[in-house]
Amino acid sequence: MHRARIRILLQTTIVPTEDDWSVARFGRLAELLADVRGADGCKLYDVTARDRSPPDAPDPVLSTLDDSDFDQLWLFAVDTGDGLTPQDCEAISRFRQSGGGLMVTRDHMDLGSSICTLGGVGAAHFFHSRNEPDLAQRMRDDPYTREISWPNFHSGANGDYQEIEAVSPVHPVLLFPASPDRMIRFLPAHPHEGGVRAPESSDARVIATGRSKATGHPFNIAVAFEAGPGGGRAIAQSTFHHFADYNWDVRAGCPSFVSEPPGDGLVRDPVAIIHTRQYVLNLASWLGARVP
């Protein structure tokens, strides 16, 4: 008897748009997850990838997510602040409260700030004008792209990789037995990552950090929420560029508004992309099936 596949929804917060970070630009992620097989040779995941419907009304999938049979939502908040309606946020929050797994990621400044009201996980993301951090963190890190202000942590060029630090005790999503120190050490770089933190009074902690290549300052990469009274497991990730095709291989192309010179570190160094792919597989495994 075959076990049921875990159902994963890869979802952006914008309508289908060719010249933007729509879900088509996360195709390699979708393919990686869809190809995973268990010891019996059967596929582990059913993957659905979609953009949202027009944001002037509740999205038909997101606004009813708690009544769906999805087990995980990987939410790529690529909007400028209006990507989720209140009904969408409420249903996503209920989805996690009912045991669903949630990975929520965004980018610099206010990009993706529509996620702020998501139960628990929204508070893990700070932006330029919403959920603002303490005064010490309200400073520009990336000095090169002047039109983008804080949070904008500079971990390297798109297409290059950064070395990350697993916070002790090492979380399961950072484990990699095949690596020399048995940990994930590399993720794609980005010139201006967003900001995440562990909210007070929550069962969450920072599990991975990076270091700015512009200032040398450390910054948080990922925050993990354990299953508990707040609901299912969740991850708050500093930038969706850790998962984008362009950041895995710049030959995949990018929207026309991306102006920074790219790198090619992930193409040249197969070890770094292996770590990135393992991180994705660890995330899917740890978020797991929906638990009532």
CATH number of the domain within which 131 lies: 3.40.50.880
The Cα–Cα gap between 123 and 199 comes to: 6
Domain that holds residue 115: 6-287
Say if 1 falls within a structural domain: no
Our count of domains for the chain comes to 1
Burial status of residue 94 (CB atoms within 10 A of its CB: 0-12, 13-18, 19 or more) = middle
Say if 189 falls within a structural domain: yes
Say if 235 falls within a structural domain: yes
pLDDT tens by residue, 112-149: 999 999 988 999 999 999 998 888 789 999 999 999 99
The Cα–Cα gap between 234 and 66 comes to: 15
DSSP state at residue 122: G
The length of the chain, given as a count of residues: 292
Say if 292 falls within a structural domain: no
Q: Give the per-residue SS3 of 215-259.
A: CCCEEEEEEEECCECCECCEEEECCHHHCCHHHHCHHHCCCCCCC
Q: Would you put residue 69 in left (φ > 0), alpha (ψ -120 to 50) or beta?
A: alpha
| pLDDT by 10s per residue, the chain, length 292 | 456 899 999 999 999 999 999 999 999 999 999 999 999 999 999 999 999 999 889 999 999 999 999 999 999 999 999 999 999 999 999 999 999 999 999 999 999 999 999 988 999 999 999 998 888 789 999 999 999 999 999 999 999 999 999 999 999 999 999 999 999 999 999 999 999 999 987 789 999 999 999 999 999 999 999 998 889 999 999 999 999 999 999 999 999 999 999 999 999 999 999 999 999 999 999 999 998 7
Say which residue the tokens 């628990």 belong to: 120
pLDDT tens by residue, 190-210: 999 999 999 987 789 999 999
Residue 57 is encoded by which pair of tokens?
Answer: 């009304």
Q: Please state at what angle helix 27-34 crosses helix 270-287, rounded to 10 degrees.
A: 60
The Cα–Cα gap between 224 and 202 comes to: 10
Say if 124 falls within a structural domain: yes
